[in-house]
Amino acid sequence: MSNVEDLDLILQPRRAQRLVGAEALQREFLDALGQGKLHHAWLIGGPVSCGKATLAYQIAKFLLTHQQNAREAAQNAEELSVAADSQAAAKISAGSHPDLLLLSRRWDEEKKRMTSGIPVVDVRRLIHFLGSTAAGGGWRIIVVDKAEDMAPAAANALLKSLEEPPSKSLFLLLSDSYQRLLPTIRSRCRRALLPKPTEPQMQEILRAELGDFDTAGFNAISRLADGRVRYAMDLMQADHGALRQDMQTRLEEAPGDHTSLHALADALTLRNRDALFAEFLERARLFVHERAIAMAGQGAANPWVDVWDQLVQQQRQTETFNLDRKQLILNLFALLNRAKNAEARLPV
């Protein structure tokens, strides 16, 4: 993934004009703010790409738009969205609001890649940020995306600020796996768990981003996306209908019918087809899982359980050691062929 694509994953949620779904969490935040009981730190957890960053930026836009009357505005609001002409929201979308600090992975110009985690030197910027007067005379907001990416030194630096927060400062910690955070950080945060978007909600989000699209095409990938909006968006923007059909056909074909697999494997492992390769592996996992479930009650050895175990193991090794993706695909089809033959030999 290029630096431009990586940065877009971080910045894109800033540009959303409203949050689709999570009505209960929006109400929870507005009620706390409206009652004057807003906790200074929120840990926003949930599955990958389910809208955590979008929720954080909607909170930031609401507070920084209503710097002087946030409590009254919350009492009269039904959701976190703000007026389209909000100057604060426009600055947040552009990444230029002085009262919002983002701590995340960043582009390392020297190494020409994104940092593997959140550098401690960035977390230490908090001291200056929190020690200065808010430009708008009100709130200062810190978004940490993703909080579990902090090295121990960075986590400890953040903890000091969480323990003694200045007035009108709000920490929004985003996490795909909040269990990995220090217990001392978790204990100082109010937890907000974001649910996976429903299919209708995903369609609404995608239409806002992509315009109109083929509903049948969305239905074909919605199960694969499993609530991951960014993943669904990547798949919807790639026009590979024939290749997707070939993937599914080859997974389902009879044992021994595999021909020209090298062509399929080559097509899936071309440069800039990471999303398509990931989609194929997701389809394969779903296929194997369904076959394993179907055979579970037949009282015989289940060859699909072994395929599942080996697929998971080989995929992990390929990712960890940067092994040949094409070979992973060819190995997978060999495993499928063996399991299909074993299933065919079982008595009816």
Which residue, among 94, 91, 148, 84, has the nearest Cα to 116 in the 3D structure? 148
pLDDT for the residue numbered 238: 62
* Res 21: pLDDT: 77
For residue 320, give both structure tokens: 């960890």
Q: So what's the pLDDT on residue 9?
A: 44
Contact status, residue 141 vs residue 99, Cβ threshold 8 Å: yes
Rounded CA gap, 329 and 44, in Å?
36
Tell me the pLDDT tens digit for each residue of 162-178.
Answer: 998 988 999 999 998 88
Per-residue pLDDT of the chain (348 residues; tens, 9 = 90+): 333 334 344 447 887 887 887 889 999 999 999 999 999 999 999 887 788 999 999 999 999 999 889 999 999 999 998 998 999 999 999 889 999 999 987 777 777 677 777 888 888 888 889 888 887 778 999 999 889 888 888 899 899 999 989 889 999 999 988 888 999 999 999 999 988 888 888 888 777 777 777 676 677 667 667 777 777 777 676 667 667 778 888 898 887 666 568 878 887 887 777 878 888 998 899 999 999 998 887 767 899 999 999 999 999 999 888 899 999 999 999 999 999 988 888 776
How much is the pLDDT for 5? 39
pLDDT at 28: 95
Instruction: Report H helices in the chain.
Output: 3-11, 23-34, 52-65, 70-75, 87-94, 120-123, 125-131, 152-163, 183-186, 199-210, 215-225, 229-237, 241-252, 261-268, 274-295, 303-321, 325-345
pLDDT at position 244 is 78
Long-range Cβ pairs for the range 295-301 (8 Å, 24+): 295/343, 298/346, 300/346, 301/342
3-state SS assignment for residue 309: helix
Q: Which residues contact 15 (CB under 8 A, 6 or more apart)?
A: 93
Ordered DSSP codes for 114-142:
E-SSB-HHHHTHHHHHHHSPPTTSS-EEE
Q: What is the pLDDT of residue 299?
A: 67
At 222-269, the pLDDT tens digits run: 766 777 777 777 767 666 766 777 888 889 888 766 656 887 888 788
3-193 CATH choice from 3.40.50.11900, 3.40.50.300, 3.90.1150.10, 3.40.50.740: 3.40.50.300
> Is the bond preceding residue 91 a cis peptide, omega within 30 degrees?
no
Q: How far apart are CA 156 and CA 216, in angstroms?
A: 48
Predicted pLDDT at 222: 72
What is the per-residue pLDDT for 217?
A: 65
Please state, in angstroms and rounded to a whole number, the distance separating the CA atoms of residues 53 and 328.
33
Task: Give 102's strand partners.
Answer: 143
Which amino acid makes up residue 164? E
Contact yes or no for 70/79 (Cβ under 8 A): no
Name the residue ranges covered by the structural domains of the chain: 3-193, 198-237, 241-345
Q: Which of 86, 92, 44, 36 is nearest to 65 (CA)?
A: 86
Q: In a 3-state reduction of DSSP, which class is residue 19? A: coil
